[in-house]
Every structure is written in C-alpha cells, then in structure tokens.
C-alpha cells in the first residue's frame, strides 16, 4: 500500500498564494524537484510551488528546513539531483515533510527564498548516466503491428511475457523548451538504393519516464516488492522519432539514429511520494493473456493514474494567434507493464542501476483513436491526415510545429497534482 501522510492532506494550504489555486500543477501536496539557473547563472536545486520556485540551496543556507542532517544538506546544495536521489526513501520522505512545513500556511512566510518561474531557465534535473526506453503499451504495439505486419500477429510472441526495451542515448536527452533539430540520416526509397538526407517522417511519442533513485550492485537484482522504493519520481517524456530513418536501420539490432537525435523531458520531477494517492493495483491484463512469471508478479500498488494530453500548434497557427489543437487525451494506466516491472526485469540479469538513470515507458496509447500517443497512429501511417485549424493537414510533423505534452492527476479525495508540460519546436534540418 502506498504511504499517505499529512503532506497529502487535500485541505493543506500554502503561504504561496498561487499554490492554492485548485487548477495549479504545483500545490503544496506536490513539491516536485528540478534544477534552475539563478540570476548569476548558477545551478540550484529548486522545488516548484504554485508559480514560484523555492530555492532549496538558499533554504539550506538559511537553515530554513527543519532537522536537516549534514548529508541531506550537502546533497540539496548540489548542482543536480543525483546525490539526493541516491539517499533513499527515508531521506526523501523526511525532506518532503520539511519542505511541506516550510511552505505551509501555518509557517511564517519566507518570500526571500522564492524565485518566479516566469523568466527562469530550467536545466536537466540530473546527470543521466544511462537511459532505457521500453515499449510498454500493448495498444501502441498492436497498432504498429497492424500497420507493418498486416498478415501476421499484431503482437510479437514475447510481448506479453516481458517488458521489451532498448538502450537509448542519454547524451541527447534535453529539457523541455529546447528546440528540436530535424535529423538527417540514411533513407531508403521503395525503389532504388539508400540516400542520405533530411528526415521526412518526423514524429513525437507521448511517454513518461521514471528516474531511478537508489540503485543496486552488479549481480544483485531489484525484486518486485522493493522496486517502487528504488524509483525517485516521474517526468513527461517526448521520444522524438525519425520514422523513415528508423524503418531502414532498425533490423536486426533495433532503434539507432532514428531515435538518438533528441528526447525531451519535463523539468520537474514529481516524486513517487507525491503520486502516492494515485497509485493503484495493476497493470490490467486481458482475458487469455499468459500468466506473468513470478518474478514480475505485482506485489504493491504499481500502476499510476496519470492523465495526459498532446497539443499541436503550427508556425502558421502561432502567427495567426490560433490556439493549439489537442491531438489526444490518454492515461498512464493504459500501460501493459509498470515501471516497477520494467525496473525489476531490467535488473533481473544483474544489471546495475545508478541514481539518475532514466526508464522510458514507450508510447502511451489507449484503446480509442483519441487516446493514441503518436501521429503515426493518429494519421494511420499517412492514410488519414489530421486537419489543423490553419487549413493545413498533418501526416507527420513539419518544421515550425510545436508539440506540447501535459499531464496531471486528479481524483476525489486528493489534491490535484500536475507534472507540468514538455514542449519542443521543430527546427529545419541543417543545410
């Protein structure tokens, strides 16, 4: 059972008034961590509260956080979250309680510790040593199977037995708002030899990613009963995909240059502690599915009830003042494999994880078209173009397109908790 305590109380208010707005992504019940640049260009750990950032570095120096031990104070004064992530659940819980106390309406206001979000630059919250991307939504996998294997089984034989994944490229993960350059690569026309040129079939992928907190020693797997205790928190992930480059290169070893040019993440890491009210039993299996092997059997509440949306705004729409168009509306609950199962399977071979490693979910798609998480699916491989409000159509992304992914949790008896957004604009390929 996920641990709920006084920091989750939906009636809790903050002296930061913007955090008390019922539609705020960052109420006092959330308290996500990120890293921002202060006015001197220095990297400081921060916590989002309403439309403000609590400068945690400044709070540590001012001794504003109650009962903070030396190791925690040192890790929170660092320029990235890796050290704090590695301290473990007891420390995370204690620091959350201290932050909640400091920001509570019952505490004397400390406005000198705040920085306005607007105009403040965010950077990657952690040094990402390794990045693995999974393929955890059966609905997405089924859609692609129907497209590319119309005469065969939509799902490959291993799909319902284990969480399928590949090792991605950590160096090309960027924070939200970073422009995305259209990649170049080898392209294979239907007739003729391959050529080298600009990607023509650029797509987004609606995903989430979990930051590993405490790791494991090589040869010592993380087991399901403890898996969620090793996960620090969640971010939104847009795994940009060059479909034409990927199609030509991916056999026999899987994704390569079609995936390694850029992946965007939202700047605020929403902790598993903040998401505790939204953890559920799962994931759901369908009638006739094979039984999950014992080492992957869920033991704790591992499924996450997170709502997500994808919005698109073309360059022409921005010029004309036309609002972004919602492309899809889905849920993280639609995953066939949870992050706990991904982490457990990943380490079952003895693979070591380290604080700050990132696990991507793969494209999150639901059962209906309005819940599909990529344009490849929504336009059904280009046969059903999407009409935009500016009079143009999209089969895949064009230069100047702005893709925004938003996510939040909202249910009766709990405070609304948001993950913010993940945004990127497509730039033309280098000439």
Q: What are the residue numbers of the active site?
A: 140
For residues 189 and 212, give the distance between their C-alpha atoms in angstroms, rounded to a whole number: 41
For residues 115 and 101, give the distance between their C-alpha atoms in angstroms, rounded to a whole number: 19
Is residue 30 within 8 Å of residue 275, measured between CB atoms? no
For residues 360 and 211, give the distance between their C-alpha atoms in angstroms, rounded to a whole number: 9
Give the DSSP H/E element, type plus range, for residue 237: strand 231-238
**3 state SS of 357:** coil
For residues 210 and 195, give the distance between their C-alpha atoms in angstroms, rounded to a whole number: 37
**3 state SS of 18:** helix
Kindly state the tokens that stand for 259.
């995936």
For residues 300 and 224, give the distance between their C-alpha atoms in angstroms, rounded to a whole number: 8
Compute and round to an integer the Cα radius of gyration of the chain: 22
For the stretch 92-98, contacts whose Cβ atoms lie closer than 8 Å and that sit 24 or more positions apart, written own/partner, are 92/213, 92/232, 92/271, 92/273, 93/3, 93/273, 94/67, 95/65, 95/68, 96/7, 96/31, 96/271, 96/273, 96/274, 97/5, 97/6, 97/7, 98/65, 98/66, 98/67, 98/68
Is residue 384 within 8 Å of residue 232, measured between CB atoms? no
For residues 207 and 421, give the distance between their C-alpha atoms in angstroms, rounded to a whole number: 12
Residue 102: name the closest of 42, 62, 43, 45 by CA.
Answer: 62
Is residue 56 within 8 Å of residue 76, measured between CB atoms? yes
For residues 54 and 46, give the distance between their C-alpha atoms in angstroms, rounded to a whole number: 5
- Alpha carbons within 13 angstroms on the beta-carbon side of residue 173 total 28
Where does 122-261 have alpha helices with state H?
Answer: 138-148, 224-227, 243-249
């Amino acid at each position: 059972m996920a641990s709920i305590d006084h920091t989750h109380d939906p009636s809790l208010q903050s002296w930061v008034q913007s955090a008390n707005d019922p539609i705020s992504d960052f109420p006092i019940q959330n308290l996500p961590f990120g890293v921002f640049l202060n006015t001197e260009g220095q990297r400081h750990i921060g916590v989002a509260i309403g439309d403000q950032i609590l400068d945690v570095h400044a709070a540590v120096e001012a001794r504003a956080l109650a009962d903070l031990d030396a190791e925690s104070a040192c890790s929170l004064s660092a320029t990235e979250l890796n050290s704090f992530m590695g301290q473990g659940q007891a420390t995370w819980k204690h620091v959350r309680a201290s932050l909640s106390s400091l920001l509570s309406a019952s505490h004397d206001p400390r406005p000198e510790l705040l920085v306005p979000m607007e105009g403040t630059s965010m950077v990657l919250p952690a040094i990402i040593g390794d990045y693995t991307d999974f393929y955890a939504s059966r609905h997405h996998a089924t859609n692609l199977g129907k497209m590319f294997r119309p005469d065969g089984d939509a799902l490959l034989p291993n799909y319902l037995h284990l969480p399928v994944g590949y090792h991605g490229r950590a160096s090309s993960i960027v924070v939200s708002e970073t422009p995305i350059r259209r990649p170049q690569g080898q392209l294979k026309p239907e007739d003729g030899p391959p050529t080298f040129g600009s990607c023509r079939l650029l797509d987004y992928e609606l995903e989430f990613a979990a930051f590993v907190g405490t790791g494991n020693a090589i040869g010592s797997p993380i087991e399901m009963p403890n898996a969620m205790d090793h996960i620090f928190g969640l971010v939104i992930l847009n795994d940009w995909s060059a479909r034409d480059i990927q199609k030509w290169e991916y056999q026999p070893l899987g994704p390569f240059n079609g995936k390694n040019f850029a992946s965007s993440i939202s700047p605020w890491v929403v902790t598993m502690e903040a998401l505790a009210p939204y953890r559920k039993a799962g994931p759901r299996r369908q009638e006739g599915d094979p039984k999950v092997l014992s080492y992957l059997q869920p033991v704790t509440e591992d499924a996450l009830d997170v709502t997500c949306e994808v919005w698109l705004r073309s360059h022409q729409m921005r010029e004309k003042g036309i609002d972004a168009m919602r492309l899809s509306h889905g849920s993280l609950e639609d995953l066939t494999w949870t992050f706990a199962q991904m982490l457990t399977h990943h380490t079952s071979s003895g693979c070591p994880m380290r604080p700050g490693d990132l696990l991507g979910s793969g494209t999150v798609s639901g059962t209906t078209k309005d819940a599909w998480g990529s344009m490849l699916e929504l336009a059904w491989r280009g046969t059903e173009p999407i009409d935009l409000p500016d009079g143009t159509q999209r089969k895949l992304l064009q230069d100047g397109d702005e893709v925004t992914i938003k996510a939040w949790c909202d249910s009766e008896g709990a405070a609304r908790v948001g993950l913010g957004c993940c945004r990127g604009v497509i730039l033309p390929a280098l000439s």
